[in-house]
Structure 1
């Protein structure tokens, strides 16, 4: 009963309390700052009341509640509000019938915003406000689109940039591009399999609806869905089941020259470094050992290593070892003592084996 009532009141989309808090606090500060700054810029006395128009409040909802939305980006806010205000003023001037002028203003504002790539829902209200605003708007003429509309929109965007970043949000919203870890023109490893950009474009074309989410955000979201599904399918396989236990390691106190000869004898390019108790200190590579021949191994150690436990599901390693930046993970016990190592080759082998098993099971099920 309670859960049903909660769904009715809050909707099906999960809302986090910190998002609610940031939206409310951001709107409070953003509108206040924009209003005060607008009055100062316009040279008005602070006691004359805020130099704001109603639709700016609707813009604040988008800027602080859903700052990642394409409808909330600076181009949409500035372009949408200013263009709509111009359209509304023009309709108020040249269309004598108020109802017709209002309807025409909203319709033309929507059309122009969509054609110019700056669709912003409060723009419809801005066009309507310009028509029904009376002498307060008509006395300003087309200047209404600049002050207060353009000025307040600009100041609200500036406030949103600062406040959203202070609250840990990206604004203007940018989706980080997946890049090759080696700075080549190849796509990132995780982007080379699964669906393609052409698949996404075709799906969006077939969907046939305008979505309030950017193509880049959809792509990033779908990649995460793929990864999450893969994690779920392979969460039963643990690191302790696939790790190499006979690990070739070097001692932090031995000479770099002897460690280099040791790695060459085993045809290894890198190896874990442990202390006298067998605890992991880091990783060492041939190039660093060659440069530190006359010094101990600890002088050439890279301390940044990725450690996991035997009971860690291999799904935790998928994003790590598939990124191209890391080639191995060290398996340690509760005392950080080295007990195994998992390389990209180990992970590839188990995934290939799991793929074969899944294919066989699927074939038998179909039969």
Structure 2
């Protein structure tokens, strides 16, 4: 029954949290945009100044911010150009049916030529064509207010909302610096493919409107990583983990943590409570970030802040429990190496603790993982 499958949902499952995040974003975005547009125009009709297409724009901006159709150029230029087309057609054509159809068709052509396709733009042109009385009053000012100003407000609010909710908008550009602030690409995106080649792939498969070059690079990298995970075979965390992990208590001073890092040449330490109960993990970068934050807060240099942070005589020391990461990935003994590989593809994760009934029984570091993969390659498995 392929026809019934074709009629089913084409979108992957979305978590309830993400659905709520998008819905709240649209609520906040439209609410604040309405206040912005109405404040100098209290005596004007709400329907004219908070137009229906803004609702469609909100779906793209807050629910699918990575879509090329939701980017600032597409949204602002697309809506504004469509408004100009709609107003012009409304002024020239009297027949309502032909006027509406022509406005939408010309708006689609114009926005595509401007590389500013934004689906709600069709509704913007239609709104103008359906309201000749309003257009007689406003003329081409309709394209400025509410359309251009309202879209700019929505885009600005979407960018702020994405920042505060852990998303990225506008989407990443292919030549953006990595998270390390260097010119290198992120490890998962080092494909050996240029931006032009990735663009050609999108154009060849007619996906330019659905996916950006940066996202395509990330997807290809993720697919290659998943394929590498399959080649890892039956190895599990139990086969490669360190079975005698050094750990610290949450009340341990950072001077003690730093000493353990130095003595054992580790880059990570599990933080455990009573009976080896896993509480979190500390990476060396956590110490550096804490010293950097202290330097900015106290107005000291980084070196002075780090010395103070590790001072054994300080009266109110920062402790391990204050800086540990409690929400990072974790594994069990049966976790496949392929899954561990994906976990440590994230730059922020240097090691994954292995738990049994909530207690730490081992830890898999990047060194363990590399050594296991190297042995597998040498053996030709």
Does residue 42 (structure 1) correspond to residue 64 (structure 2)? The answer is: no
The 5-angstrom pairing of residues 258-337 of structure 1 reads 269-270=265-266, 310-319=333-342
The 5-angstrom pairing of residues 1-367 of structure 1 reads 11-16=9-14, 18=16, 19-44=18-43, 51-94=49-92, 101-161=99-159, 168=165, 170=167, 172-175=169-172, 179=178, 181=180, 184-192=182-190, 197=195, 200-234=198-232, 236-243=234-241, 269-270=265-266, 310-319=333-342, 342=364, 344-355=366-377
Any stretches of 5+ residues in structure 1 without a counterpart?
361-367
Distance change >3 Å, CA 243–CA 156, structure 1 → 2: closer
In 1, the alpha carbon distance for the partners of 2:208 and 2:59 equals: 20
In 2, the alpha carbon distance for the partners of 1:78 and 1:122 equals: 11
Structure 1 SS opposite 2:39: helix
Structure 1 SS opposite 2:167: coil
In 2, the alpha carbon distance for the partners of 1:331 and 1:24 equals: 37
Structure 1 counterpart of 2:291: none
Distance change >3 Å, CA 54–CA 334, structure 1 → 2: closer
Structure 1 counterpart of 2:293: none
Distance change >3 Å, CA 42–CA 328, structure 1 → 2: closer
Cα contact 2:354–2:362 (8 A) shared by 1: yes
User: Over residues 30-55 of structure 1, what are the superposed CA-to-partner deviations in whole Å (9 max), with x where a residue is unaligned?
Assistant: 43443344222224268x76633332
User: Over residues 113-141 of structure 1, what are the superposed CA-to-partner deviations in whole Å (9 max), with x where a residue is unaligned?
Assistant: 22333221121222233233222212211
In 1, the alpha carbon distance for the partners of 2:185 and 2:156 equals: 34
Aligned residue-pair number: 341
Cα contact 1:332–1:340 (8 A) shared by 2: yes
In 2, the alpha carbon distance for the partners of 1:54 and 1:203 equals: 35
Cα contact 2:68–2:74 (8 A) shared by 1: yes
In 2, the alpha carbon distance for the partners of 1:356 and 1:76 equals: 51
In 1, the alpha carbon distance for the partners of 2:10 and 2:158 equals: 27
Decide which moves more: 302-311 or 232-241: 302-311
In 2, the alpha carbon distance for the partners of 1:324 and 1:165 equals: 20
In 1, the alpha carbon distance for the partners of 2:282 and 2:141 equals: 66
Distance change >3 Å, CA 190–CA 121, structure 1 → 2: closer
Cα contact 1:72–1:120 (8 A) shared by 2: yes
Q: CA deviation at 1:237?
A: 1.0
Cα contact 1:180–1:189 (8 A) shared by 2: no
Structure 1 counterpart of 2:303: none
In 1, the alpha carbon distance for the partners of 2:32 and 2:337 equals: 49
Q: CA deviation at 1:230?
A: 3.2
Query: What is the root-mean-square deviation of aligned Cα atoms in Å?
Result: 5.1
Distance change >3 Å, CA 147–CA 331, structure 1 → 2: closer
In 2, the alpha carbon distance for the partners of 1:186 and 1:330 equals: 29
User: Over residues 5-31 of structure 1, what are the superposed CA-to-partner deviations in whole Å (9 max), with x where a residue is unaligned?
Assistant: 8x6875132343624444445445543
Distance change >3 Å, CA 329–CA 214, structure 1 → 2: closer
